[in-house]
Chain A
Amino acid sequence: MAMVDYYRPLRLNQIDSSLQEEIKRTCGVDVELCLECGKCTGGCSNAHIFDLTPRKIVQLVKLGDEKRLLNMDSLWTCVSCQLCVDRCPSHIDIPRIMDYMREKARKKNVRAQRESIEIFHELMLDSIRKTGRVAEAPLALKHNLRTRQYFKDAELGGRMFFKGKLNPLSPKVKNVKQVKDLFAQTIDKKEG
């Protein structure tokens, strides 16, 4: 995933601050408040498996490296536990930046490195579209089918199914038409 060529020195005067300004404007998050202390990363639930840690993500916003941010695996391994912002002495809302970049990745059609993430999101949206609620059991089954992990959780899912723990027919909201209507007016609405 060669984004910016980091083998050569990064020439700072070729970098513009448009991403930084965009994030300040749209998310209300000012990365210039960063003290570069790393308290975010020390507190992060998943820093040990991140390709880019929270502090580096803030730094990349400053460097304006949108390409790297949109393609990083951390975008999809972040669990939004909010510990980074909770610990941050400047209260920089890093989860908000992550949300924004995830949204941007979708808009720009930058596919996540792991296919299953895309599938999961589609299924999740689909569940709400059809029933107004999220139902984990059918979602898990569909997710495993679509990601060709046919036997994953089969034992567990099956056992739960027979004991009636996971309701395979997810209970619908009474008036599903209204939910469909919401979709029609927002997500499915044609731009312009």
Chain B
Amino acid sequence: MNKERVVAPEKMFPEVPEKIFLFRSCTGSMEYPGTENAIKEVAKILGIEIVMDPDQTCCSGYLLTCSAYKPEFSLAVTARNLSIVEKHGLDTYMFCNGCQGYNLELAHIMHEHPEYKQMANDVIAKQGYHYEGKTDIRHVQEIWYRLKDEIAARVVRPLTGLKVASHYGCHYLAIQYGILDDAGYPTFHEEIYSALGATPVFYKERQMCCGYSVGRGFTHKETLVQPHLYKKFKSAKEAGVELMTTTCPGCNTALDREQPNLTKRYEEEFGIPVIDISQLIGLALGVPLEKLGFDANTIKMDGILKKLGIGKGDSDDN
């Protein structure tokens, strides 16, 4: 089972797509608009065209795990969103582990149970949509990993000496088919850091969950999320981590926004900025700082940029 689940990037993309549909993440686009920007900029550099659609809604996965009021709703939402992508004739690329996981799961359910697909299609037909099940659901990090060597060749701001560590996010590694690695001992983020010239750090609690899933960041912040994150950051600090990346805006929110609360509660400063891996790639590829949107971060990137000798206004070389 494991073997079919983990797929080599070359097998995942025999050919790199020229054009992709970027699925907007609610949390990602509102909390850290820099992520979406960075993806667009990096894609531009790599020659991949990005298509988006203002009628795409929330993936509704949040609702499903919260308590699944009615699965029919989530099925209809998924069918509607994916039918929008299918109108463009493209594959769907997420930058949120949650969006990817839920869309995949619901698409899988509709694929396996035509009666559910029919039910969803009946609902969305009144709005003029029809979902076929043709669009493939992927995460943008998969393309970045596939193009790791190309990215390495285009680095204009090498991240030499920067100690970067990953927070993979549970919901990507938990996907049951066609992923880059499972939750055993993934290394594909660390390989990307190396391609950017940075030093990957494997800290002890590397795979510990961010705790924010299913709304726990709202409902169990003190009892659950903070003790959790404290343990995680403590091990990262001990390992000398300077910067952390995510591939899920929910995780990013938890890891970044909660740090001041941790400091207040545990009287310990961590000061580890947390950004999306696409922002890190954008930084190394020379995307102008104002486009990367680091201002949205609670834990500032200033120290990192200073260390790398990158100042404001110091954009790329072209």
Complex: A114 Cα to B29 Cα, angstroms: 30
Question: Among the listed stretches B87-95, B145-153, B167-175, B193-201, which one makes contact with chain A, having 4 or more residues with CB under 8 Å of it?
Answer: B167-175
Closest residue of chain B to A179 (Cβ to Cβ) is B57
Given contacts A114-B219, A120-B218, A136-B27, contact A128 B63 (CB under 8 A): yes
Could you tell me if A125 and B63 are in contact, using CB atoms closer than 8 angstroms? yes
With a cutoff of 8 Å between Cβ atoms, the chain A residues found around residue B62 in the complex are: 124, 134
**Which A residues lie within 8 Å of B278 (CB)?**
none
* Nearest CB of B to A70, in Å: 12
Stretch at the interface among A1-9, A12-20, A57-65, A78-86: A78-86
Q: By the criterion CB–CB under 8 Å, are A86 and B31 in contact?
A: no
In the bound complex, residues from chain A placing their C-beta under 8 Å from that of B64 are: 99
0/1 interface trace, chain A 7-38, chain B, CB 8 Å (1 if under)? 00000000000000000000000000000000
* B54/A174 in contact, CB under 8 A: yes
Q: Shortest beta-carbon distance, B1 to chain A, in Å?
A: 7
Interface membership of chain B positions 57-87, coded 1 if the CB is closer than 8 angstroms to chain A and 0 otherwise = 1101011111111111100110010000000
Chain A: minimal CB distance from B91 (Å): 22
Instruction: Assess A80 versus B27: contact at CB under 8 Å? Given A124-B63, A160-B298, A182-B123.
Output: no
Cβ contact within 8 Å between B31 and A136? yes
B223 within 8 A of A: yes
The interface residues of chain B, by DSSP majority, are classed as helix
**Least CB distance, B201 to chain A, in whole angstroms:** 21
Q: Chain A: how many interface residues by the 8 Å CB criterion?
A: 56
Contacts of B126 in A (CB 8 A): 181, 185
Contact of B276 with A by CB under 8 A:
no
Q: Is B308 an interface residue (CB 8 A)?
A: no
Bound: A120/B66 CA distance, A: 9
Q: Which residues of chain A have C-beta atoms less than 8 A from B305's C-beta? A: none
Which residues of B are found within 8 Å of A145, using beta-carbon distances?
none
Beta-carbon contact of A91 and B174 below 8 Å: no
A128→B59 CA distance, assembly (Å): 10
Residue of B nearest to A117 (CB): B219
Do residues B73 and A99 form an inter-chain contact, with CB atoms below 8 A?
A: no
Contact B58 A86 (CB under 8 A): no
Considering the chains assembled together, what is the distance between the CA atoms of A132 and B66 in angstroms? Answer: 17
Q: Is B257 close to A, CB under 8 A? A: yes
Residues 171-192 of chain A, each 1 if its beta carbon lies under 8 Å from chain B, else 0: 1011100110111011100000
- The residue that B66 contacts in the complex, of A121, A160, A178, with Cβ under 8 A, is A121
Looking at chain A's contact residues, the main secondary structure is: helix
**Mask for B155-194, Cβ within 8 A of A = 1, else 0?**
0000000000000001101100000001100000000000
Q: Contact check, A163 vs B30: say whether CB atoms are below 8 A apart.
A: no
Q: A86-B173, A102-B66, A171-B30 are in contact. Are A46 and B182 (CB under 8 A)?
A: no
Q: In the complex, are the beta carbons of B296 and A165 less than 8 A apart?
A: yes
Is there a chain A Cβ closer than 8 Å to B295's Cβ? yes
| Shortest CB distance B208–A (Å) | 7
- The complex places the Cα of A86 from the Cα of B171 at a distance, in Å, of 11
Q: How far is the CB of A121 from chain B (nearest CB, A)?
A: 5
The one of A136, A167, A186 in contact with B73, judged by C-beta atoms closer than 8 angstroms, is A186
Do residues B216 and A187 form an inter-chain contact, with CB atoms below 8 A? no
Q: Give 1 or 0 for each of A57-97: 1 = CB within 8 Å of chain B CB.
A: 00000000000000000001111111101110001000000
Encode B1-41 as 1/0 by CB contact (under 8 A) with A. 10000000000000000000000001101110000000000
- Whether A181 lies near B69 (C-beta < 8 A) is no
Cβ–Cβ < 8 Å partners of A55 in chain B:
none
Q: Pick the contact of B69: A77, A81, A175, A187 (CB < 8 A).
A: A187
Name 30 interchain pairs, CB-CB below 8 A, sorted by A: A46-B224, A49-B224, A78-B214, A79-B211, A81-B213, A82-B170, A82-B173, A83-B170, A83-B174, A86-B174, A87-B183, A106-B68, A120-B215, A121-B215, A124-B62, A125-B69, A128-B57, A133-B58, A136-B30, A136-B31, A166-B30, A166-B31, A173-B56, A174-B54, A174-B55, A178-B80, A182-B124, A185-B123, A186-B72, A187-B70
- Taking A178-B80, A186-B72 as given, write out 5 further A-B residue pairs in contact, using a Cβ cutoff of 8 Å, ordered by the A residue number: A86-B174, A121-B215, A182-B124, A185-B123, A187-B72
Q: Which 6 pairs show the lowest CB-CB distances between chains A and B?
A: A82-B174, A81-B170, A186-B73, A81-B209, A132-B57, A45-B209
